[in-house]
Amino acid sequence: MRVSIVNCVSTACDMMAFSDRSLISHAGCNNWDYVIVKWLASPEVEDYLERLPAIVESLTKTEGIEVHVIEHTTDESVGYVPNLRAMMNRGFDYGFKLNEYAGLVNTDCYFGPDWLKNLKKYAKRNRVINSQHITPATAPKPARGIITEDLGLPLDGQFKGHRFINLYDQLFKDDVWIAPGHDHRQAATMPYLFHYDYWDFCGPWELTLKEGVPDMRFFRRVAAAGAEFALALGSIVYHLECGERKGKRPEGAEDLAEE
């Protein structure tokens, strides 16, 4: 099964390069499309994206992973963060033109061995399959799929790789956990994979907070449409949360309102 993996970037060149090494070399499979949405990309990011296909080849020593770089144009009618959400929508629209299944990653992640292979292993048309998610953030309520621990910035010399390996060994299980009662809150983590049907029925994300948090509203709609939410216990990923968003804005977005 070939899938699309969506990422978004503007300025986080070093962080993305660090993250991509694990994203690509730890995927455990090569039959996927890497869809990158750029917005007001810095020169360093532009240069990195030009070199990325060669980097993928050097990391995998084989063919199969295709890199697709597309561009988001600033929507002046909404704020900075809504433009970031628009990038994700653009990525999903493109990714689902390539494959029936797509999912989202961020530039501030570190990916454990076979993270994508084990997501795909438990993917089903009526299921949103998610990774176990290590993060410094604390969920508002305890959630099965979220493990709170700060492993530092996903950058060379700063990420606590040995501690990640310890946690990986503790958490890994070649199995799937199904959230009871379509309870998306217990298992809606990141990265994830879901079928195009749910994007067609329930997407896209709203751009603003006018009606609530857009990603959670989307997952609530998906659950209401009958999807089950599940964790692939052998797919384990660290996510700093907002690693690029909290940094310096890209040139050209300085005057946008936050929301």
Ordered by where they begin, the domains of the chain are 3-239 (3.90.550.10)
Q: Which positions ≥6 away from 130 have C-beta within 8 Å? A: 119, 145, 187, 188, 189, 190, 191, 192, 229, 230, 231, 232, 235
Residues 6+ apart with CB under 8 A from 229: 127, 128, 130, 178, 179, 182, 183, 184, 186, 187, 188, 219, 223
The low-confidence residues of the chain, meaning pLDDT below 50, are: none
Yes or no: say if 239 and 133 are a contact pair by the CB < 8 Å rule: yes
Query: Mapping DSSP to helix (H, G, I), strand (E, B) and coil, where does residue 32 land?
Result: strand
Q: Which residues of 128-167 are buried (b: 16+ CB within 10 A; e: fewer)?
A: bbbbbbbbeeeeeeebbbbbeeebbbbbeeebbeeebeeb
| pLDDT given at position 51 | 98
pLDDT at 1: 95
At 243 the pLDDT is 67
Q: Is 252 helix (H, G, I), strand (E, B) or coil?
A: coil
pLDDT in tens, 58-84: 999 888 999 999 999 999 999 999 999
Average model confidence (pLDDT) for the chain?
A: 95
Instruction: Give SS3 for 76.
Output: coil
Could you check whether the bond before residue 154 is cis, i.e. omega within 30 degrees of 0?
Answer: no
Half-sphere exposure of 81 (CA within 13 A, CB side): 14
pLDDT tens by residue, 5-47? 999 999 999 999 999 999 999 999 999 999 999 999 999 999 9
Instruction: Find the helix or strand (DSSP H, E) in which 91 lies.
Output: helix 80-98
Q: Which residues pair with 232 in a beta bridge?
A: 131, 176
Contact 13, 44 (CB under 8 A): yes
- Give the per-residue pLDDT at 140: 76
Compute φ and ψ for 184, nearest 5 degrees: -60, -30
pLDDT reported for residue 139: 77
